[in-house]
Amino acid sequence: MRSKIFIVVALALAVTGCAGRNTHDLLNKTTVAAPASDIAATHEIFVATTRQKATKDPRQVFDGDRSLTTSYASVDVTVPKTHQVGAIERAKGSAESNPAKDFTATRVTYYEGAPQFAKAVGANITMRGDRALVFVHGFNNGFDDGIYRLTQIVHDTKYPGTPVLFSWASSGKTTGYIYDKESANAARDDLEATLRMLAKTRVKSIDIIAHSMGTWVTMEALRQLAITGDRDLGGKIGYVILASPDIDVDVFKKQMIRYGKPDRPFAILLSADDRALKLSSLISGDKPRVGDYGDAADLASYGVSVVDLSQTKGGDRLNHAKFADNPILVQLLGNRLRTPAGLASEEPDPAQLNNIGQGLGKAVGSVAEVVITTPFRVLTIATGG
């Protein structure tokens, strides 16, 4: 028992979770100017959050403390022209962000309540093509981490709609796993309410990407929608993508039984070498997590597509965010997301996947492959090295 505790503590100290900095400052103390020619794009990220507004350090904007109500904001973020696909370029430590080199938050707008926010996000949805992408972050995320990850996803995938971050109250600490788990539980109703709010706009498709522990919040919100008899919000739920799900396999199966077989593309991205989920499994009594589960066909029997990324490289030693930090996998995700879910086939296009697979081979070597298990068949994207 003592050895297991030692392993858990050692992993906790080694794991940086889903974040990469010791500080969670989002805003600069002073404005750092950069020529317009150095900026690739500015993205407006809409936010619904169960975090408290940061008062001790306003640069964080929202901190890791829980709020009993949902707060709303939007954040403008610039992406430098030097940006590399799959990366999130950030200033080191507590240094000021340089827009010519780093992702930089330049403005925060606060909304007084849900009606004001709904009006603003609804107008943006109408202007940008009637689609919204909701991103739900994972364990050990500060508010800044979620903002920058969604900005990177939207930028790299060239997503054509409105980005919305649902930021639940993660402590942003590697030692905060249990706190984060309870925060995720507390945020279920808030995510459900946020999805319902978006569905009342002119949006035609609400796509969802959830990562790590954020997949738990997402599955619970979807389960709650199913219980009310409106699981797809009048047909407006589009893609559901669960990346590295930090959910007990048996619990996930019960959630899917309640939700039912999806009518729109519903994908699970998993990887057997996910070190962050190894820690979660140890904490949870050696119970397998969905994100590193070895039986793809078992999961696919619930009506989902399972994408096994075990043979591809991640952007860091944890292999916990391959979907976003591997450049070719981001391309695969983008190609899928740019086709509205209502028009997408239930199975991926093998020709398109093979083309991407060849690119994957050039990027990460001849041993790489992606295995996609659908309710219908298994597709292997082998690379030619």
Q: Is 93 exposed, middle or buried (0-12, 13-18, 19+ CB in 10 A)?
A: exposed
Q: Which of 82-91, 125-134, 344-353 has the lowest mean pLDDT?
A: 344-353
Are 214 and 181 contacting, i.e. CB atoms less than 8 angstroms apart?
no
pTM recorded for the entire structure: 0.91
Query: In the prediction, which pLDDT does 384 show?
Result: 37
Are 213 and 187 within 8 A, CB to CB? no
Q: Identify the three-state secondary structure at position 289.
A: strand
Close Cβ partners of 238 (under 8 Å, ≥ 6 residues apart): 131, 205, 206, 207, 208, 264, 265, 340, 341, 342
SS3 379: strand
CA distance 377 to 138: 30
- The 10s digit of each residue's pLDDT in 58-87 is 999 999 999 999 999 999 999 999 999 999
pLDDT reading at 180 higher than 70:
yes
Q: Is 80 exceeded by the pLDDT of residue 381? A: no
Of 201, 183, 49, 186, residue with least CA distance to 126: 201
Distance CA 169, CA 181 (A): 10
Name which of 47, 56, 67 is nearest 23 in CA terms: 56
CA distances 310 to 159, 178, 186, 194, Å, are 25, 27, 32, 33
Q: Tell me how far apart the alpha carbons of residues 132 and 160 are, in angstroms, rounded to a whole number.
A: 9
Q: What is the pLDDT of residues 256-298, one digit of tens each?
A: 999 999 999 999 999 999 999 998 888 887 788 999 999 999 9
Query: Are β-strands 305-308 and 266-270 bridged in parallel, bridged antiparallel, or unpaired?
Result: parallel
Share of the chain above pLDDT 90, in %: 72
List the structure tokens of 213: 């522990």
Give the pLDDT mean for 350-376.
57
User: Nearest-CA neighbor of 316 among 1, 43, 20?
Assistant: 20
> What pLDDT digit, counting tens, does each position of 99-120 carry?
999 999 999 999 999 999 999 9
Domains present along the chain, CATH in parentheses: 2-344 (3.40.50.1820)
With a cut of 50, say whether residue 323 has pLDDT above it.
Answer: yes
Structure tokens, 333:
């995700």
Write down the pLDDT at residue 286. Answer: 79
CB atoms within 10 A of CB 9: 11
Contact 167, 143 (CB under 8 A): yes
Q: What is the mean pLDDT of the chain?
A: 88
Pairing relation of β-strands 369-373 and 237-243?
Answer: unpaired
Helices (H) and strands (E) in the chain, counts: 12, 11
